[in-house]
Chain A
Amino acid sequence: MSVPWLDLGNLDDLMDGGECRGVVVDGHKLGIFVVDEEVFVIDDLCSHGNALLSDGDLDGYEIECPLHAGAFDVRSGKALCKPLTRDVRKYETRVEGGALLVRFERT
């Protein structure tokens, strides 16, 4: 069975004009990032330290962790530089009637 789409709510309300937003689903932290009206969702917890990527600085498609300056590509979750050695997970998204849907399995 394929992973279902989960409705995270109205995208505009979630972002409130910002470009980064963190949400928690079943204790799992997801980071929402908007670049040129395109929306991306990756794990919000940095793979290096105990920090939220949504608190970081978004530059183009690069989100920089606020703790130790590791950067990830929000399109893929790929770790782009040291001190990161592991990628973070990336989730499929779509926007339906203003609502942000993400392919995420609830536990």
Chain B
Amino acid sequence: MTRVLIVGAGHAGGRVAQHLVEGGFAGEIVLVGEEVHIPYERPALSKEFLLGKQDVAEFSLPVCEASEACRFERRVGRVTSVDPVERTVSTADGETIEWDRLVIATGADARRPPIPGNDLSHVHVLRTIDDALRLKSAITAAKNLVIIGAGVIGLEVASSARGHGVAICVIEPAERVMARILSPSASHWLAEQHRAAGTDLRLGRGVSEIHGDAVILDDGSVIAADTVLLATGAAPATAAFASVVAAGADGVPTDAHCRVEGHEHIYAVGDVALSSSPIYGRALRQETWRNAENQAQAVAQILLGGEEPYSELPWMWTDQLGHNIQVVGFCAGDREVVRGDPATGKACLFQLDGDRLVGAVLLGEGKQRKHVERLILDRVPVTDAQLGDPVQALKALA
């Protein structure tokens, strides 16, 4: 009986198991993860769940059940190493688990920058349900919340914490917010929204020390803080895979079929996977909901004998201060063309490289996502005038 061992029981790992069972996989599936919760999707943790508007059941995956052809087992545990020759993994409990096919789905862990005081009890990170529960209860009682990092998680938490009677300060070493994802003008627009909502946003500032009741910035200023969130990004969880991944790699490198380079029976999926992209001709590590969802399906299909490579245009959304912001592709390109007026909360910020669209930031314009994706993927030649004119339907251009 073939055994697929999935290490990591988050959104991606859970979906691989589910798709294998639904796809009629004949064999045994073992899903090992560190969390006691059944696999779940993470977007709500910084938003609806933190606000108490959704409970765990609403974003948990359906419970995976064995079928006649397929045995399924979920274990709670931490895998510490892999032996790719003997085809086993070892766990922190001293257990050895054998496998025929290994799927690495360990996701990413919150980064904890080496700031003195980063281990104090009022310092939080946010990756898991348990993190979110702790943070929620801290925010409820907090007077001064300091968020270190103005990325997606930091700004979503700043948005969610509003209305709880807490003063919010966001500190970001970069000169603009969500700099990894947004174009400069979109960053500027979003920063204005947060400032208008009352957030004390400090850009271009680092934190030199965290104390029990305050955070000390690199310019010496002291900011009162009874609750601190480290929202400084996530690092791929590769510690257990030193035997198959070169040191220093940003994730687990795979080919376009999600196979780990040099190991034809080992796959990687989700946030941890650094997968060769047929669209871009280079490796991408996508920390998005859609990547977890769709790459898991792709890997399950490949394990079931499918031949299709995995190909996904980057797409993410964030909901902040009543605005829905979506980013398709990359804010690379040589210029930006704006359709609509960001001041109204509805606009498309197109990123062009020559006469091709390479990305877009959609402010309250999610309905355009499909058309934007078509324009990018089909490499449709476009002009600034066409994109900038709201009368020209994108649907017609695509």
Chain A residues at the B interface, C-beta cutoff of 8 Å = 49, 51, 55-57, 59, 64-69, 82-83
Contact = CB atoms under 8 A, between A and B. Distances in A.
Interface of B: 41, 289, 293, 315, 317, 319, 324, 364-371, 395
Nearest to A86: B58
B324 A64 contact: no
Given A51-B324, A67-B317, A68-B317, A82 B293 contact: yes
B289 A83 contact: yes
Contacts of B366: 56, 65-69
Contacts of A57: 367-371, 395
A65 to B, nearest CB: 8
A67 B324 contact: yes
A80 to B, nearest CB: 13
A30 to B, nearest CB: 18
Contacts of A55: 367
Contacts of A65: 366
Contacts of B41: 83
A64 B293 contact: no
B141 to A, nearest CB: 27
Given A51-B324, A82-B293, A83-B289, A69 B369 contact: yes
Contacts of A69: 315, 317, 366, 369-370
A9 B1 CA distance: 64
A68 B369 CA distance: 10
B367 A64 contact: yes
A67 B368 CA distance: 11
A67 to B, nearest CB: 5
A66 B370 contact: no
A14 B41 CA distance: 38
Contact of B370 (A49, A51, A64, A67): A64
